[in-house]
Structure 1
Amino acid sequence: MTLKTRRQFLSLCLRGCLGAASLSALQMRFMQSVLAAEQQPFADYKALVCVFLVGGNDSLNMLIPMGGDSLQFYQQARQDLAVADALPLRPLREVEDGIGLHPSMSALLPLFEQRKLAVVSAVGSLVQPTTKAEYLSGSIIKPQHLFSHNDQQDTWMRGREPQIISRGWGAQMLELLYQQPDFASCISLAGSNLWQSGELISPFGLTHGGVPELQATRRSDVRSNVLRQATQALLTGQTHPLGSHYAQLNNNAIERSAIMRQALKLAPDFSDVFPSGNTLAAQLRKVAQIISARDSLNVGRQVFFVRMGGFDTHGDQQRLHPILLGRVAEAMAAFQQAMDDSGNSNNVTSFTMSDFGRTLSTNGDGTDHGWAGHQLVMGGAVKGGDIFGAVPQQKLGGERDVGAGRIIPEFANEQYFATLAQWFGLSAAQCLQLFPNLKNFNQANLQFV
């Protein structure tokens, strides 16, 4: 049997032509491994973990000026929202007047000092480099729907402006690297999302509790066995194209769930590493387990998606935002500890995304929709202990404030994405294919990883 013929045979088996009931989880996992090994373009392993902070994180308030005019401008702009007792940072490239980290994010300070954490400053949606004068005069192409939650979330997940497409750059990276991406290469702990939606692949969904099961068929009693057999008979006997397609999708889901469930049985628990009562930490704990079990899944590249909401802080920000930042810091620090303990630190890069930054000005109880914001990048391969890009002066009416304290980004989010994508294994040409506005900027790779 030739390699091509064997591959075709195994593919048919995995698609349900032999019937899911006739295959054990071990057999399915073996066939999945053979198929993955035959198309594996990389000898190494890398994973990207996207931490999406839903609602527009006030990330400008994560980095606090420590003195001089910078501190005075910041306090004047932020008023009651100004943060005191910032934790001093000593980035490799000195920041004028000094810079500190929000005190609620103390869990991340050791990682910055160990050079496993970097900050990319003033990132946002841009079509081309933009000055305040150009923005106000309308002489440049502006990103569409700049201050809209849904539109900007889609922009960050699509990876481009101003084209409207229904595919995300996380999934498209895999599709550029693999002829047929394996389901285990694209995993979400936060449900369906645009970032992991492609032409050939969509996210395989888990919860922090593991692989979901059909409650009616998971038990071993007589009633469940009868229901399971009846469902299988109905699905395998379909002749209508729609019914047949549904049967195939259902069988694929059953098979993939069995493979993932078996892989997770081999994974470390990590319960002593992650804090309890933190939903982001619970998601990242499951990511850590899957990464640790990657050998049984035989994948060379993986993208993970986790999500945390609550960042649309128009009100009660003084109380809520420190809590949110503290949970993010604890969860990410625990995840990096799990990567260190499992020997995966250099192979896994985690990064944040959010709808947009927020306004420098306060509305009296919070902040409103802004533009530029800071993003965190973490991992052993990261050029940590530094801030990439100039920290914008938080001065109302300043040279990058286009009104209401909305700051023009220094870096386009496409530059941010392309840097991560090149580390993941894409070529410069492939990055330009994914992020077409890169051609408008002098620097396509920001060199933070």
Structure 2
Amino acid sequence: MDQLSRRDLLKRALTGGLGLAALSSLQLTAMSKALAAQSAPVSGYKALVCVFLFGGNDSANMLVPLAGDSLTAYVQARQSLAVSGALPISPRIAVADGIGFHPALAPLQPLFSAQHLALISGVGTLQQPTSKLEVQQGKALLPKNLYSHNDQQATWMRGQEPLSLERGWGAQMLELLQTNAEFSSCISLSGTNLWQRGQLLQPFGMSAKGVSGLTAHNGAGNRATLMKNLQAALMAPQTQPLANLYAQSNSAAQARSLIVADALTQAPTLQTVFAPDNHLAQQLQMVARLISVQATLGVGRQVFFVGMGGFDTHDDQNTVHPALLSQLSAALASFAAATTELGVANQVTTFTMSDFGRTLSSNGDGTDHGWAGNQLVLGGAVQGGDIYGQLLQQRLGSDLDVGGGRMIPTTANVQLFASLASWFGLSDSQRRQIFPALSAFDASVMPLFR
């Protein structure tokens, strides 16, 4: 340590120039501090947490009409899938016939009442404002492969239609705000994803249980010695370029894992309870722990990715969907409580994305792939207690129904993304760089934040 500056130590460890076996716990602490010293300055701290609902959430059924013609049309459209016992909510802008949450969203009702939760209604992928007549006449510029899971997941994560460059808007925000964005600013708890893939930045992956480490060389004996020697050989500098790149990648991965694991030892014990049998809740609990040590990791901006699957409810929707919404709402409520406990509620915004909405009409046991839907945005800085955009009317044959209850979005998802990016710190020109389709819409930023 006397012969290496913190900057040199970090640089050499992350490029494979220094054997990780030589690093002591004090040196790892120095590496974490070096990250803080080298991060590009940003004003304050903010984190965006993306909760991806894989499969296409029937998000229209999260908001249920309470009375009148709206309820009649809803029941006619939903048939056996119509939800009863909706929990009344009172948006700041009143809704004709009233509106309520799906009963499984009960944990979110207090957050909405406290104005820390907002809903974006009628939102989906759009390249330009689109009418039913344009769709029927084949004149509409529709998103490519509109009802395809993989394509629509990618479009939500890119923030635009498919390009040759596979980059997501989460990573691009970081790269625009921090020219030398650190790996710990971009963390996934749900595997590799396009949303966090940038030009240079890639997501640092870990599990809800923490950072995976090499355990085969722990302990003593010939096997442990052999594994230690093998690891050292794999990470040692090589003369052959591809072999050296492999060594650097291995060394960097291990260095990063050790830095995060070391930082997590300093995380406070949370009093907020996260259900142990709720995988999304466990992911969000780890996100809360990581946020609590952001100063140690030296990052002013972070994007986190968590996810849950099972939302492709073609079958058995009346059983499956309420259970999924129950897990989702409980996990989000616990995470909101944890950010309050940590004193960072105003600095953390959580939002949902999903492949697409689903059909209003039933296929007999569930719903099929649709288009527009509803998304959630919550956090201390959110101007909540309201429904943004045009409330998705659950009425078959309406001016937005292109067939079978597939509803045309009235709000483009890029308008939601731009609003989140604005809160995160991006300028108008930066937002338009990431979301070029914004130029086709009247309003690029919604008043989602205080």
TM over 0.5: yes
Q: Assess, with a 3 A threshold, how the Cα gap between structure 1 residues 371 and 164 changes in structure 2: closer, same or farther.
A: farther
Counterpart secondary structure, 2:257: helix
1:417 deviates by 0.8
The one-letter amino acid paired with 2:263 is A
String of CA shifts for 1:64-105, please: whole Å, max 9, x gaps: 001111100000000110000100010101111110000011
2:305 aligned partner: 305
Tell me the equivalent position of 2:169.
169
* Residue correspondence of structure 1 range 119-138 to structure 2 within 5 A: 119-138=119-138
Residue equivalent to 1:228 = 228
Q: Which residue of 1 aligns with 2:197?
A: 197
Offset of residue 388 of structure 1 = 0.4
Amino acid at match of 1:55: G
State the 1:131 CA deviation. 1.1
Aligned to 2:349: 349
Could you tell me whether the CA contact under 8 Å between 2:349 and 2:381 is conserved in 1? Answer: yes
Matches within 5 A, 1:31-430: 31-219=31-219, 221-270=221-270, 272-430=272-430
Give the conservation status (yes or no) of the 8 Å contact 1:190–1:306.
yes
Structure 1 residues 149, 271: closer, same or farther in 2, change over 3 A?
farther
SS in 2 for 1:254: helix
3-state SS, counterpart of residue 166 of structure 2: coil
CA contact (8 A) 1:25 1:259 kept: no
SS across alignment from 1:302: strand
| Distance verdict in 2 for CA 1:257–1:439, change over 3 Å | same
1:298 deviates by 1.1
Q: What is the alpha-carbon distance in structure 1 between the residues aligned to residue 308 and residue 371 of structure 2?
A: 20
Query: What amino acid is aligned across from residue 366 of structure 1 in structure 2?
Result: G
* Superposed CA RMSD: 1.6
Asked if structure 1 preserves the Cα contact closer than 8 Å seen for 2:13 and 2:255, the reply is: no
The 3-state SS of whatever aligns with 1:216 is coil
Tell me, yes or no, if the aligned pair for 2:55 and 2:355 is still in contact at 8 Å. Answer: yes
TM-fit CA distance, 1:9 = 6.8
Decide whether the 8 Å contact of 1:14 with 1:31 is kept in 2: no
Would you say the 8 A contact 1:143–1:162 is kept in 2?
no
Moved more, 67-76 or 267-276: 267-276
| Alpha-carbon separation, structure 1, partners of 2:85 and 2:214 | 50
- CA 1:72–1:389 in 2, change beyond 3 Å: closer, same or farther? same
CA distance in 2, matches of 1:226, 1:16: 20
Give TM-score scaled by structure 1 length: 0.96
For 1:394, the aligned partner's letter is Q
How far has the Cα of 1:199 moved from its partner? 1.6
Gaps of 5+ in 2: none
- Number of paired residues? 445
For the residues of structure 2 that align with 1:6 and 1:275, how far apart are their CA atoms?
Answer: 40
Cα deviation for residue 296 of structure 1 reads: 1.0
How far 1:138 moved relative to its partner?
2.1
Aligned 8 A contact 1:278 1:327 in 2? yes
Q: Secondary structure at the match of 1:304?
A: strand
Q: Contact 2:390/2:411 (CA < 8 Å) preserved in 1?
A: no
Most deviating of 276-285 and 220-229: 220-229
Give the deviation of 1:6 after TM superposition: 7.9
Partner deviation per Cα, 1:327-356 (whole Å, 9 max, x = no partner): 000000000000000101000000000000
Which amino acid counterpart does residue 214 of structure 1 have in structure 2?
Answer: L
Cα separation, 1, equivalents of 2:317 and 2:435:
34
- Alpha-carbon deviations, 1:25-63, whole Å to 9, x = none? 432342343344334221300000000000000000000
Secondary structure in structure 2 of the residue aligned to 1:402 = coil
Q: 1:149 to 1:344 in 2, by over 3 A?
A: same
**2:171–2:195 Cα contact (<8 Å) kept:** yes
Q: Which runs of 5+ in 1 are unaligned?
A: none
Tell me which moved more, 121-130 or 28-37.
28-37
C-alpha displacement of 1:180: 1.9
**Whole-Å Cα distance in 1 between the matches of residues 328 and 265 of structure 2?**
27
1:307 aligns to what SS in structure 2? strand
Query: In 2 relative to 1, CA 181–218 (structure 1 residues): closer, same or farther, beyond 3 Å?
Result: farther
User: Residues 218 and 75 from structure 1, CA distance in 2 versus in 1: closer, same or farther, beyond 3 angstroms?
Assistant: farther
2:385 counterpart letter in structure 1: G
> 1:436 maps to what in 2?
436
Inter-partner Cα distance in structure 2 for 1:397 and 1:218: 65
Which residue identity lines up with residue 295 of structure 2 in the other structure? D
Give 1:22 deviation, angstroms. 2.1
CA distance in 1, matches of 2:107, 2:383: 19
SS of aligned partner of 2:200: coil
Q: Is the 8 A contact 1:180 1:200 kept in 2?
A: no
Contact 2:237 2:248 in 1 (8 A): no
Counterparts of 2:32 and 2:262, CA distance in 1: 13
Alpha-carbon distance between aligned partners in 2 of 1:269 and 1:9, rounded to the nearest angstrom: 31
Q: Distance in 1 between matches of 2:135 and 2:447?
A: 27
Q: Percent identity?
A: 55
Deviation at 1:7, TM superposition (A): 4.9
Normalization by structure 2: what TM-score?
A: 0.95
Compute the displacement of 1:390 (Å). Answer: 1.9
* Structure 1 stretch displaced more, 41-50 or 24-33: 24-33
Greater Cα shift, 288-297 or 271-280: 271-280
Measure, in 1, the Cα distance between the counterparts of 2:278 and 2:59. Answer: 20
CA deviations on 1:386-438 (whole Å, 9 max, x unpaired) are 11012122111101101110001011111111111111111110110100000
Matched position secondary structure for 2:260: helix
Contact 1:127–1:162 (8 Å) recurs in 2: no
Describe the shift of the 1:296–1:398 C-alpha distance in structure 2 as closer, same or farther (beyond 3 A).
same
Q: SS where residue 215 of structure 1 aligns?
A: coil
